[in-house]
Chain A
Amino acid sequence: MNTELDLKPAPVFTGKTRQITLNINGLPKSLEVLPYVTLLDALREYLDLTGTKKGCDHGQCGACTVICDDKRILSCLTLAVAKEGAEITTIEGIGTGTELHPLQQAFIDHDAFQCGYCTPGQICSAIGMLREGKAKTRADVKELMSGNLCRCGANMSIIDAIMEVKDGGSHE
C-alpha cells in the first residue's frame, strides 16, 4: 500500500492576527487572534472560560456547544474572527453566580451526569432547544438533543432533567 503522505505543500502562511470584540455573557471582550483560532479555543485559551469543553474538536460530540446570537452552535467549528460583535452565552453565563439555572438544578436532582465533561454542552444545548420551542414530546427531546453525546451513559437522566424543566415552564 502507498503510505506516502499525500498532503499538498502548505501555502504561504499569510494569516495575521485580528482585533475582535465578542460579547461574552453580557460583557464585551476584546482579543487578538489569528483567523484560524476557533471560538472554542478563543473561549478556553484566550479568555480562560474553560467551562466550554473540547471533546472531539470535529463537530461530532456537542461538548463545545454555546449559544451564539440566541442559537445553539458548535464553537469548535466556528472561527472566532467570524463572530465579531456576536452575543455569546457559555455555561459560565447562565446562572446568576449565587443561583443555579433551573437546568443546572435539574441535572443535579436527576443525577444527569457522571464525569460531567459533556454537561456544559448538554445544558447549553438544552437551553437552545427549549428556546427553539420545537420539542413537544419526549421523543422530540431525544431527537433534538442527539447532537450531545454522553459516553458515561447518563442519557436517560439527562432527558428526565430536561423534561422536568420543559414541563415546568421555567425555560430561562
Chain B
Amino acid sequence: MNNFDYGTAPELKDAFIQVNENAANAFLAGGTNLIDLLKYNLIRAEKLVDINPLPDYHGIEETSEGAVRLGALMTNADTAYHPLIETKYPLLSRAILAGASAQIRNMATNGGNLLQRTRCYYFYDANVPCNKRNPGSGCSAIPGYNRTMAILGTSEHCIAVFPSDMCVALAALDATVNISGAEGDRSIAFGDFHRLPGDTPHLDNNLKHGELITGITLPEKGFEKNYSYLKLRDRNSYAFALVSVATALDLEGDMIKEARIALGGVAHQPWRVKEAEDLLLNQRATRENFAAAAELILKGAKGFEHNSFKIELAKRAIIRNCMMALNPESQMPGAQPSA
C-alpha cells in the first residue's frame, strides 16, 4: 500500500474538487474492496477522498411515483434489513445477504457494491499478465486455471466475472443508477452500467473518473410474491458464486405474466436474456417451460478448460430457482440450495 493522502468531503462539491485534482485520486466509501486492492498494490492512489461525511445518500426514500431510492452510502446490511426492502423488494434483500460476510455487509455501501472489481486470481497476482490490470499484457486466465471464470460474453482479452450478488437482483429488478459529477447529474439503466470486456477489459463499467454514484432507484414493481435467489459455490457461505440466479415472477394462478431471470458468476456483468423472459410470457410456471428458458439463456455459452461445468450448472440452477420462486418460503439462509 503506498502512502496516500486523505481528505474528507463534507459537501458533494468538495468531493468533486478533491477527486478531480489528480487522476490517481479516488473516493473512499466502505473501503472493503478499495483498501484490499491498495494493500495488494493493484491500484495506487494519490489521495482518498472520504465521502462518508456527506450528509445525504445514507438512507432510503420513496419517490412520488412509487419508486424507491437507495442511498449510495447506505450499507449493504442496513439496506437488506430495511423493512421497506424486506417487504417490497425481498429478492434484493436475499441477494445482498448471500454476499460477503456480516462484517463486510456492515461496512460495504450500495454504491461501492456496483464498483467492486473482479476476484479473478490472475487480476490479483501482479506478477502475471492481465489485460484488466495492465491493458495489452495478455490474459493469464484463458490458458490458465479458469474454473471460476466466465462462460458468457467473454472476449479473447478477458474472461473475468463480475462478483456481486446484489447487482444480480438489481439487474432483475430493472434498477437505475443515479450519478453525479462536477458537470451535473445523469442516470444509467442498470443493464447499461456494467460493460462486457471486449477489447477494453480494464473498463468494468461506464462511470467516469470523478463521477460518483449517489443512489440506486428501484421501480415500483418489487415482485414480492414470487422471487428467489440461489447461489451455488464451493462452500455454503462467505464465498463468491460459481453460478447464482435471481428470479422474479408475476403470476396469475400458474400463468406467468412477467418473468425476470438474471445470472451471476457467469459473465463480466449480471446476465439477462430478454428472449428467454419473453418465452415464458403467458406460459404455465412448469419445470419444462423454465428448462426451455434456461436453454435460451445459456445459448452461445462457451466453456474453457476447467469451467464448462458451469453451463449445465447454470441451466439446472435456473430451473431450480424458478421452481423455488413459486414458493419463496423454501429458500434457505444465505441463498444456499435447499436440502
Q: Which B residues are CB-close (under 8 A) to A34?
A: 3
In the complex, whether A47 has a CB less than 8 A from a CB of chain B is no
Q: Which A residues are CB-close (under 8 A) to B32?
A: 59, 74, 77
In the complex, whether B206 has a CB less than 8 A from a CB of chain A is no
Give the distance in Å from the alpha carbon of A12 to the alpha carbon of B21 in the complex: 14
Residues B129 and A2 in contact, CB atoms below 8 Å apart: yes
Pick the contact of A146 from B52, B101, B134 — CB < 8 Å?
B101
Q: Given A77-B32, A78-B107, are A143 and B3 neighbors across the interface (CB < 8 Å)?
A: no
Give the distance in Å from the alpha carbon of A18 to the alpha carbon of B40 in the complex: 24
Residues B6 and A15 in contact, CB atoms below 8 Å apart: yes
**A-facing residues in B84-121 (Cβ within 8 Å):** 100-104, 106-107
Give the distance in Å from the alpha carbon of A74 to the alpha carbon of B100 in the complex: 12
Minimum CB–CB distance for B82 against chain A, Å: 12
In the complex, whether A44 has a CB less than 8 A from a CB of chain B is no
Residues B100 and A58 in contact, CB atoms below 8 Å apart: no
Size range of the chain A interface in the assembly: 35 or more
Pick the contact of B333 from A73, A81, A143 — CB < 8 Å?
A143
Residues B5 and A35 in contact, CB atoms below 8 Å apart: yes
Interface of B (DSSP majority class): loop
Task: Give the segment of B43-51, B152-160, B207-215 that binds chain A.
Answer: B43-51
In the complex, whether B304 has a CB less than 8 A from a CB of chain A is no
**Per-position 1/0 for B322-336, Cβ under 8 A of A:** 000000000011101
**A-facing residues in B24-45 (Cβ within 8 Å):** 24, 28, 31-32, 35-36, 38-41, 44-45
Residue of B nearest to A66 (CB): B103
Pick the contact of B104 from A12, A143, A147 — CB < 8 Å?
A147
> Between A and B, how many residue pairs show CB distances below 8 Å?
134
Give the distance in Å from the alpha carbon of A35 to the alpha carbon of B332 in the complex: 41
Give the distance in Å from the alpha carbon of A140 to the alpha carbon of B59 in the complex: 26
Residues A74 and B137 in contact, CB atoms below 8 Å apart: no
Size range of the chain B interface in the assembly: 35 or more
Minimum CB–CB distance for B240 against chain A, Å: 11
Give the distance in Å from the alpha carbon of A148 to the alpha carbon of B336 in the complex: 18
Q: Given A34-B3, A36-B2, A140-B333, are A1 and B128 neighbors across the interface (CB < 8 Å)?
A: yes
Residues A82 and B31 in contact, CB atoms below 8 Å apart: yes
In the complex, whether A101 has a CB less than 8 A from a CB of chain B is no
Pick the contact of A77 from B3, B45, B107 — CB < 8 Å?
B107
Pick the contact of B47 from A8, A14, A137, A140 — CB < 8 Å?
A14
Q: Which A residues are CB-close (under 8 A) to B39?
A: 57-58
Q: Given A5-B126, A143-B334, A144-B102, are A81 and B6 neighbors across the interface (CB < 8 Å)?
A: yes
In the complex, whether B145 has a CB less than 8 A from a CB of chain A is no
Minimum CB–CB distance for B178 against chain A, Å: 24
Give the distance in Å from the alpha carbon of A6 to the alpha carbon of B24 in the complex: 17
Task: Give the segment of A102-110, A111-119, A127-135, A160-168 that binds chain B.
Answer: A127-135
Residues B127 and A5 in contact, CB atoms below 8 Å apart: yes
Pick the contact of B237 from A1, A58, A134, A143 — CB < 8 Å?
A143
Minimum CB–CB distance for B7 against chain A, Å: 9
Residue of B nearest to A84 (CB): B8
**Per-position 1/0 for A137-152, Cβ under 8 A of B:** 1011011111110000
Some 18 contacts from A to B, beta carbons below 8 A apart, are A2-B128, A3-B128, A11-B22, A11-B24, A13-B2, A35-B4, A35-B48, A57-B39, A58-B36, A59-B104, A73-B103, A77-B104, A79-B31, A82-B50, A146-B101, A146-B237, A147-B102, A147-B103
Chain A interfacial positions (CB closer than 8 Å to B): 1-3, 5-8, 10-16, 18, 34-36, 38, 57-59, 62, 65, 71-74, 77-79, 81-82, 125, 128-129, 132, 134, 137, 139-140, 142-148
Given A6-B133, A81-B6, A125-B102, 4 extra CB contacts under 8 A: A77-B35, A82-B31, A137-B333, A142-B333
